[in-house]
Chains A and B, each alone.
Chain A
Amino acid sequence: MGFFSAVKRIFGGTHSAGVKSEKAPRAEDARQTPAAAAAPDRAVAAASPAAANDEALTLRLREAEPRLSVWLGIILEGVDQAGDLLWQRLEFLLRALDAPAGEAAAFVADFQGWLARMEYRQVEEFRSELQYRLALALDLEDEEDERNRLFLKISEGLSRTREQFARGLDKLFAGHGELDEAFWEELEELFIMADLGYEASLELVQRLRERARREKVSQAAQARELLMAELEEIFRAPRRIMAVNPPEVVLLIGVNGVGKTTTIAKLAHRARMQGKTVMIAAADTFRAAAIEQLQVWAERVGALFHARPAGSDPAAVAYEAVDRAVKEGVDVLFVDTAGRLQTKVNLMEELTKIRQVLGKKHPGAPHRSILVIDATTGQNALSQTKLFKEAAGVDELILTKLDGTAKGGVAIAVAMQYHLPISFVGLGEKLEDLRPFNGADYARALLGQPGGGGRA
């Protein structure tokens, strides 16, 4: 249970006020202006009886740049593998950040358990997971620090692909002086190669031309900014009501093999790290061993699990799961569904039924219906979005396997045509590799302008 999110809840006023309330304001400060709260007085007080070593650390933490990665770097100095020293240091950091001792211990114990399961020993093997967990527990994910990690990860993926989009763009931007016909044509080709599809490429180029005219840009060198601004606009998601009547019900849908089950595991992991209680319902009763796969994940991330034998009616599984989730008062219920091709009418009707059943049992459910799309998919993603939207409604998209291709250009086409927000992207196989999607960062990574911190 992440202590800071518990604190945050108190602040939100939705849950049990009380016990930790006197710490809440300070925690909130820590979130908004980490500089001021880098090492609150009490942390120093707590550290003072400890060894001189600790004092030196405290001093360094106070002087350091208030960033999670920097703090972690200081804490992990001289620690190269899991062991008592690491646990000590971790608790020290958490104490310094004003966490209640009990919850700090729980965090450390939870992490120890995870390390044992994964059989990791060396710091380098788990450093990024540790930072991820801390960021979630401390609610620091929106910080530049974390967003940079996302950016780096996407860029890393990009650099691996040989015919990379960014390199082509660089050449294009450098090779043309004026924005002439040849430039636009080459740009269109590049878009097509990134899976944008013909029509979307045409439209995007058209929009860029207009933007260039509007902003009186005539040099190819400035086209990068145009494109970046345009992409940001395409990915700008409209504001939505995020508050829900608990339990929040999240339905995952998509074609076969896009990674729905793994994505559920990752989402559940996130929610757990944010201190929520989670239940997973295995409504994929069709694919062989899908239930077992999900059960393994549920155990790993510490989520409740609801299933019926293979071959059961998926809508019935969903119904019972909501029932149980309401009774047991869980915060989030994730419903996995069997992969289905969008052209199978019967299967799409089954999805409609699942949706209706969820809504009947719990008003407002599913609060989020997420379409999972494989980033390597080509133009078919458009057809997927259209038909799934008709059958089950789609509120947001998750783009998986972006690490393999790092193009995912079809996401741009989908966003242009259907105006759906992309909430997360899958950047690898590890649990921490599901990252919140930020259009601006993605555009920056895709267009290959490395370095530099925050939002433009």
Chain B
Amino acid sequence: MFESLSDRLSGVFRSFGGHGRLTEENVQAGLREVRLALLEADVNFKVVKDFVESVRVKCLGQEVLKGVSPAQQVVKIVHDELVSLLGGETAGLNLRGREPAVIMLVGLQGSGKTTSAGKIANLLRKQKMRPYLVPADVYRPAAIEQLTVLAGQLGMPVFPSTTQMKPVDIATAALERARAEQATVLLLDTAGRLHVDEPLMAELQALKAAVQPQEILFVADAMTGQDAVTVAETFNERLGLTGVVLTKMDGDARGGAALSIRSVTGAPVKFVGVGEKLSEMEVFHPDRIAGRILGMGDVLTLVEKAQSSINAEEAEELARKMQKASFDLEDFRTQMRRIKKLGSLDSILKMIPGLGGLREKLAEASGAVPEKELARTEAIINSMTMRERRNPDLLNGSRRARIAKGAGVSVAQVNQMVRQFEQMRQMMKGLMGGKAGKSGLPKMPRSLPGMGGFPGMGGLAGMGGMPGLPGMDGLGSGLPGGRASGAKSAAAKKRKKKERQKRRKK
């Protein structure tokens, strides 16, 4: 459904021919794509309008830099503009002043305030602070218990609120208590409320007056739609927000709400919730989310994820193997398992710029869910002995029959898998042999387009530590076609090859 912005833009600019200059005409057409990309990411309509206008002004008359296509140039301008709008640099908490510092969390119901309170406390403790948790949601049943349980899991002190108490009384009493316990930071979790709920909004103002928080963080669901603006605006008018926590970013939401909220309130996003575990809260990086909003993938996050599950020595070892084409089925299986650890294939592909389109082609070509194909491939390899895996040449007819039985597939499927593995190995040899970097590490195959001009993409050097990817690149075409005929998957492969060549030309 989502095509990346760079793919779309290249389409538009191609139709204009090789203009070396961004003209009124081609910019206008390009900006239409920008507008759509932003709308699909749930950025507020009005914010989009203003944004597109400012990009237009920046684009006009710019010479296209050497070695960069007009599409790339526009994407870069858009990206830079997004980053600067999102706050440019990572904003931290401002907890200076009186101790204990007070952080108040506010937002709609179900945005994730309580969980965020626990996660932020956990993050702050890592920075050598002593957090104190205060549940002040006396309305939702068991909300107090929820934070108390989280505090228990974290081993942190928590104020013993009860539903009979008034939130303001809880807050003032908790402040006393936190001081007595020598906590350095107090996290006040408030009840979820609608921005139009007058009494409850007044209660928040009273809370603010009572505890004078250094930080008032607005907790927002990354999946929020157009209304994010109205809600954030109201909270900001009533309370004066100092920051935003964007939750549920581990899903496939593009998080356009971040941009909307930032542009109407001026409050920077400070944290991003990326999982259900208490450790899964990250400091916000504007450039990463800018990439995500534009559907350009989130390579840096992928790199970090990959690095955490693959260590550098293993990577080098693998790279050597690939170059010598001694990459065997056992290595293949190891890589496959690693990739699985990173998340679903779908979500990985999505993080890589320019591969968005590949996802669909992949599904089309294999006629089935890639995950299932992967599982079948793994089952086939699992049914081989170690010797067979190390040396696929051993696989004669009777061995293949045995493997097919063991994996619950037909012999033809085993044959196909082995054949495709062989092709992949050849391909890899070609890729690695020619392009191996000076360090001997495999560079990312240059099938990733549009990366030249991006800030932060320098981090791609770190891709060396990511052998999973080249492996996967092979997988894309090497994926057993299942019931699909060999001819069909061969056609798909051809298409892919063509694509790669096209990209290389850029």
Contact = CB atoms under 8 A, between A and B. Distances in A.
Interface of A: 160-163, 189, 192-195, 197-199, 255-259, 286-290, 292-293, 295-297, 310, 341-345, 374, 376-383, 401, 403-405, 407, 409-410, 429
Contacts of A407: 225-227
Contact of A379 (B40, B145, B371): B40
Closest 4 CB pairs of A and B: A378-B225, A257-B110, A378-B42, A293-B142
Nearest to A407: B227
Contacts of A256: 110, 112, 248, 276
B251 A380 contact: yes
Q: Is the interface of A mostly helix, strand, loop or mixed?
A: loop
B225 A289 contact: no
16 contacts: A195-B225, A197-B40, A198-B36, A198-B40, A255-B251, A259-B110, A293-B142, A297-B141, A341-B252, A342-B252, A343-B344, A374-B110, A377-B225, A404-B231, A407-B226, A410-B225
Contact of B252 (A160, A288, A295, A383): A383
Nearest to A157: B196
Given A288-B149, A376-B108, A383-B252, A403 B226 contact: no
A125 to B, nearest CB: 14
B194 A194 contact: no
B44 to A, nearest CB: 8
A379 B248 CA distance: 14
B149 A293 contact: no
Interface string B169-209: 00000000000000000000000001110000000000000
Nearest to B145: A289
A380 B39 contact: no
B451 to A, nearest CB: 24
Residue of A342, A377, A410 with most partner-chain B CB within 10 A: A377
Interface residues of B, number: 51
A194 B226 contact: yes
A342 B1 CA distance: 16
Interface string B109-142: 1111000000000000000000000000001111
Contacts of A310: 149
Residue of B1, B139, B223, B231 with most partner-chain A CB within 10 A: B223
Contact of B39 (A192, A287, A342, A382): A192
B233 to A, nearest CB: 9
Nearest to B148: A289
Contacts of B252: 341-343, 380, 383
A195 B227 contact: yes
Contacts of B276: 256, 286
A404 B224 CA distance: 12
B31 to A, nearest CB: 15
A377 B110 contact: no
Given A288-B149, A404-B194, A404-B195, A378 B226 contact: yes
A252 to B, nearest CB: 14
A257 B109 contact: yes
B95 interface: no
A287 B250 contact: no
Nearest to A390: B369
Interface in B344-396: 344, 346-347, 371
A162 to B, nearest CB: 6
Given A257-B111, A258-B110, A404-B227, 20 more contacts: A192-B39, A195-B42, A195-B226, A195-B227, A257-B112, A288-B146, A288-B149, A289-B142, A289-B145, A289-B148, A293-B140, A341-B252, A343-B343, A376-B231, A378-B225, A378-B228, A380-B223, A380-B253, A381-B223, A401-B109
A49 B261 CA distance: 67
Contacts of A289: 142-143, 145-146, 148-149
A212 B206 CA distance: 54
Contacts of A162: 230
B45 interface: yes
Contact of A380 (B42, B110, B142, B148): B42
A403 B147 CA distance: 27
B349 to A, nearest CB: 12
Contacts of B298: none
Contacts of A379: 40-42, 225, 254
Contacts of B145: 288-289, 292-293
Contacts of B111: 257
B45 A189 contact: yes
Contacts of A163: 230
B176 to A, nearest CB: 26
Contacts of A344: 250
Contacts of B251: 255, 341-343, 380, 383
A450 to B, nearest CB: 19
A287 B150 CA distance: 9
Given A198-B39, A288-B150, A404-B195, A378 B257 contact: yes
B15 interface: no
B221 interface: yes
A259 B143 CA distance: 13
A258 to B, nearest CB: 6
A6 B405 CA distance: 59
Contact of A255 (B139, B195, B223): B223
B482 interface: no
Nearest to B345: A345
A255 B112 CA distance: 12
Given A379-B42, A404-B108, A161 B347 contact: no
B187 to A, nearest CB: 15
A286 B150 CA distance: 12
A199 to B, nearest CB: 8
A296 B250 CA distance: 31
B153 interface: yes
Contacts of B470: none
A189 B45 CA distance: 8
Contacts of B230: 161-163, 405
A374 B253 CA distance: 14
A405 B110 contact: no
A245 B356 CA distance: 46
Contacts of B148: 289
Contact of B371 (A258, A287, A345): A345
B471 interface: no
Nearest to B152: A288
A401 B231 CA distance: 13
Contacts of A255: 223, 248, 251
Residue of A256, A295, A310 with most partner-chain B CB within 10 A: A256
B150 A345 contact: no
B87 interface: no
A281 to B, nearest CB: 17
Contacts of B344: 343, 345
Interface in B141-171: 141-143, 145-150, 153
Nearest to B111: A257
Contacts of A286: 276
B256 interface: yes
Contacts of B224: 376-378
Given A296-B141, A343-B252, A343-B344, A374 B221 contact: yes
Interface in B1-20: 1
B223 A403 contact: no
A237 B221 CA distance: 30
A333 B258 CA distance: 39
A410 B346 CA distance: 24
B348 to A, nearest CB: 11
A119 B150 CA distance: 31
Contact of A405 (B1, B41, B223, B227): B227
A231 B41 CA distance: 24
Residue of A257, A343, A374, A407 with most partner-chain B CB within 10 A: A257
Contacts of A259: 109-110
A344 B347 CA distance: 10
Contact of A343 (B109, B147, B250): B250
Nearest to A296: B141
Nearest to A342: B251
